[in-house]
């Protein structure tokens, strides 16, 4: 009887905990999103169910915020990728192996510093009376007027999510590092060819992880926009928060949260399809190479003999 107890029961407490405090609350929010706000004193009611709250979310005012969030999300993720990719490559391939641990630690410290504090740091830097502005005025520039604009939010999100891009990319490049790249060089491929034909395709899982790790939380961000965005830098996260905290319209806030999740999923899916289509010709070519691996392996031998 002792041994008949199925082992997966060990996971039952975690399963129950997450069901009660994650699945159930989120399900309740979905349920609320079909309801309405009955009076100024009540937050929500679900005796009459309808899609009216979703119609309300799609009105021009809210739609503009969704558009803005999507813009910040996509541009922010692309910038993180463009800035983070060389850094991760540098850490994993170019930097001396003895320094690797230190570099990882250096990227980790900002990542684990409180999100809100880091963002406040940017507020201090970007403020018109702050450090950067004073320095710029010292060399004859106007006081900085970037705080409370979409530009400030973009700087903030790129900063806040950059480590989430660098770390998975570093792990991916670190795995590819070594024999395969050397083999590619031995076979006469240049640096760029090796990077685009060997390193990048093999680092693909890390790239996907990095992009998703940045894009998903970025779309739901609420702190960065609150600290740096002011009135112009509205993001959906703030909108959802305000419906729950100040407007006390839980029905509308719930509908917004559900729409936000759908927008994230749809954008991620659209991005995946786009990448799949764009990389189609390259993959066809790479598959050919891998398919004829034994023949390719014999090439260097022949060349060495010829030389």
Q: What residues between 142 and 161 interact with other proteins by CB under 8 A?
A: 159
Pick the closer one to other proteins by CB: 123 or 286.
123
Size of site (CB under 8 A) for other proteins:
98
Residues 267-306 that bind other proteins (CB under 8 A): none
Residues 229-258 that bind other proteins (CB under 8 A): 237, 240-241, 244-245, 250, 253-254, 257
Pick the closer one to other proteins by CB: 40 or 290.
40
> Least distance (Å) from other proteins to the CB of residue 61?
19
Residues 87-146 that bind other proteins (CB under 8 A): 87, 89-92, 94-95, 100-101, 103-125, 127, 129-131
DSSP string, 204-247: HHHHHHHHHHHHHHHHT--HHIIIIITTTT--HHHHHHHHHHTS
Can you read off the two tokens belonging to residue 108?
Answer: 């980790």
Span between the terminal Cα atoms of the chain, in Å = 73
DSSP string, 132-180: HHHHHHHTTPPPP--TTSHHHHHHHHHHHHHHHHHHHHHHHHHHHTTHH
Candidates 49-57, 217-225, 279-287, 299-307: pick the segment binding other proteins (CB under 8 A).
Answer: 217-225
> Least distance (Å) from other proteins to the CB of residue 292?
27
Residue that has been written with the tokens 């975690």 in this structure: 14
> Least distance (Å) from other proteins to the CB of residue 285?
25
Beta bridge partners of 45: 36
Pick the closer one to other proteins by CB: 15 or 141.
15
> Least distance (Å) from other proteins to the CB of residue 284?
29
Pick the closer one to other proteins by CB: 92 or 198.
92
Candidates 1-9, 53-61, 136-144, 283-291: pick the segment binding other proteins (CB under 8 A).
Answer: 1-9
Pick the closer one to other proteins by CB: 21 or 280.
21
Decide if 76 contacts 235 (C-beta within 8 A): no
Residues 46-85 that bind other proteins (CB under 8 A): 83-84
> Least distance (Å) from other proteins to the CB of residue 43?
8
Pick the closer one to other proteins by CB: 23 or 289.
23
Can you read off the two tokens belonging to residue 173?
Answer: 């490049």
Cβ contacts of 57 within 8 Å, gap of 6 or more: 63, 66, 252, 255, 256, 259
CA distance 85 to 204: 12
> Least distance (Å) from other proteins to the CB of residue 296?
21
Cβ contacts of 84 within 8 Å, gap of 6 or more: 162, 165, 166, 169, 210
189 forms part of the interface with other proteins (CB under 8 A): no
Pick the closer one to other proteins by CB: 57 or 221.
221
Can you read off the two tokens belonging to residue 274?
Answer: 């786009």
Q: Which residues of 28-60 are buried (b: 16+ CB within 10 A; e: fewer)?
A: ebeebbbbbbeeeeebbeeeeeeeebbebbeee
Pick the closer one to other proteins by CB: 150 or 160.
160
Candidates 208-216, 269-277, 284-292, 293-301: pick the segment binding other proteins (CB under 8 A).
Answer: 208-216
């Amino acid at each position: 009887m002792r041994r008949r107890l199925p082992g997966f029961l060990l996971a039952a407490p975690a399963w129950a905990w997450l069901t009660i405090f994650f699945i159930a609350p989120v399900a309740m929010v979905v349920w609320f999103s079909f309801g309405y706000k009955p009076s100024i004193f009540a937050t929500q009611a679900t005796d009459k169910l309808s899609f009216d709250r979703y119609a309300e979310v799609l009105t021009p005012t809210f739609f503009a915020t969704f558009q803005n969030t999507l813009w910040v999300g996509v541009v922010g993720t692309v910038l993180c990728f463009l800035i983070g990719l060389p850094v991760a490559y540098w850490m994993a391939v170019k930097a001396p192996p003895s320094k690797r641990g230190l570099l990882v630690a250096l990227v980790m410290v900002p990542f684990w510093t409180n999100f809100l504090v880091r963002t406040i740091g940017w507020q201090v830097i970007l403020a018109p009376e702050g450090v950067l502005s004073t320095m710029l005025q010292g060399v004859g520039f106007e006081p900085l007027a970037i705080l409370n604009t979409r530009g400030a939010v973009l700087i903030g999100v790129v900063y806040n999510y950059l480590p989430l891009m660098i770390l998975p990319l570093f792990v991916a490049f670190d795995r590819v590092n070594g024999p395969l790249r050397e083999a590619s060089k031995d076979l006469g491929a240049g640096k760029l060819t090796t990077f685009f034909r060997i390193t990048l395709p093999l680092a693909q899982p890390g790239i996907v992880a990095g992009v998703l790790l940045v894009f998903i939380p970025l779309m739901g961000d609420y702190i960065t926009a609150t600290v740096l965005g002011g009135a112009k830098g509205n993001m959906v996260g703030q909108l959802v928060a305000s419906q729950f905290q100040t407007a006390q319209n839980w029905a509308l806030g719930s509908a917004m949260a559900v729409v936000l999740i759908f927008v994230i999923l749809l954008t991620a899916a659209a991005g995946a399809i786009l990448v799949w289509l764009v990389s189609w010709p390259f993959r066809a070519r790479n598959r050919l190479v891998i398919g004829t691996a034994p023949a390719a392996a014999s090439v260097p031998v022949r060349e060495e003999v010829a030389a």
